[in-house]
Amino acid sequence: MAELPLAGIIVVELGDSASAPFAGKVLTELGAEVWKVERPSGDSSRGWGPSVWKGTGASFHALNRGKKLIGVDIKDPEQLETLRTFIATKADVFIHNLRPGSAGKYGLDAESLRARNPRLVHAEVGAFGSRGPLSTLPGYDPLMQAFSGIMSITGEPDHPPARAGVSIVDFGTGMWSVIGILSALFQRGNAGTGVGAAVSASLLETAIAWMTIGIANYNADGDLGGRFGSGTAFIVPHRAYSTSDGDLIVSCANDTLFAQLAAALGHPEWAEDERFATNAGRIANRTVIDGLIGDVIATRTRAHWQETFGAAGIACAPIQTTDELVAHEQTAALGILGHVEDDEIDLVGLPLSFDGERPPALPGAGGIGAADDEFRERMQ
Q: Which residue has the higher pLDDT, 191 or 77?
A: 77
What gap in Å lies between CA 211 and CA 204, rounded to an integer? 11
pLDDT at 192: 79
What is the domain-level CATH number for residue 281? Answer: 3.30.1540.10
pLDDT at 342: 86
- Does residue 19 lie in a domain region? yes
Q: Say whether pLDDT at 1 is over 70.
A: no
Q: Which residues are catalytic?
A: 170
Is residue 7 over pLDDT 80? yes
Do 60 and 199 sit in the same domain of this protein?
Answer: yes
Question: Is residue 173 located within the same domain as residue 252?
Answer: no
User: Based on the domain organization, do 82 and 172 belong to the same domain?
Assistant: yes
Do 25 and 81 fall within a single domain? yes
Please say which residue of 318, 344, 361 terminates a domain: 318
- In this structure, of 33-37, 82-86, 100-104, the range with the lowest mean pLDDT score is 100-104
Asked if 190 and 106 sit in the same domain, the reply is yes
Q: Is residue 89 part of a domain?
A: yes
Phi–psi pair at 57, nearest 5 degrees = -50, 135
* 175-185 mean pLDDT: 98
Q: Which residues contact 90 (CB under 8 A, 6 or more apart)?
A: 10, 378
The domain containing residue 67 runs over which residues?
A: 10-210+334-379
Q: How confident is the model over 265-271, as a mean pLDDT?
A: 98
Do residue 200 and residue 250 come from a single domain? no
Model confidence at 35, pLDDT cuts 50, 70, 90, reads: very high
Q: What is the CA radius of gyration of the chain?
A: 24
The answer to whether position 223 is within a domain reads no
**pLDDT exceeds 90 at position 97:** yes
How much of the chain exceeds pLDDT 70, in percent?
100
Q: 314 and 339, same structural domain?
A: no
Please give the distance of CA 282 from its chain centroid, rounded to a whole number.
Answer: 32
What number of other Cβ atoms are within 10 A of residue 43's Cβ? 25
Same domain? 105 vs 200 = yes
CATH code of the domain in which 143 resides: 3.40.50.10540
Q: Both 244 and 120 in a single domain?
A: no
With respect to residue 164, please indicate whether it lies within any of the assigned structural domains. Answer: yes
Q: Please check whether residues 49 and 164 belong to one and the same domain.
A: yes
Would the pLDDT of 293 be above 90? yes
Residue 221, CB-side half-sphere exposure with 13 Å CA sphere:
4
Q: How do residues 326-377 score in pLDDT, each as one tens digit?
A: 999 999 999 999 999 888 999 999 999 999 999 999 999 999 999 999 999 9
Cis omega (within 30 of 0) for bond into 50: yes
Whether 309 maps to a domain, the answer reads yes
Dist CA 171 CA 17 (whole Å) = 11
Mean pLDDT for the stretch of residues 8-37: 97
Question: Mean pLDDT of all residues in the chain?
Answer: 95
Residues 340 and 372 both lie in one domain: yes
Among the candidates 271, 286, 318, a domain finishes at 318
pLDDT beyond 70 at 256: yes
Q: Is the residue at 325 inside a domain?
A: no
Query: In this structure, what is the dihedral angle of CA atoms 293, 296, 301, 303, given to the nearest 10 degrees?
Result: -50
Tell me if 217 is assigned to some domain. Answer: no
CA distance 127 to 198: 16
Alpha helices in 211-335 (DSSP H): 212-221, 255-264, 279-284, 286-297, 302-312, 322-327, 329-334
Last residue of a domain, one of 293, 318, 343: 318
Evaluate whether 164 touches 145 at the Cβ level (below 8 Å): yes
Is residue 215 predicted with pLDDT exceeding 80? yes
Whether 35 and 158 share a structural domain: yes
The answer to whether position 343 is within a domain reads yes
3-state secondary structure 68-129: EEEECCCCCHHHHHHHHHHHHHHCCEEEECCCCCHHHHCCCCHHHHHHHCCCCEEEEEECCC
Total structural domains within the chain: 2
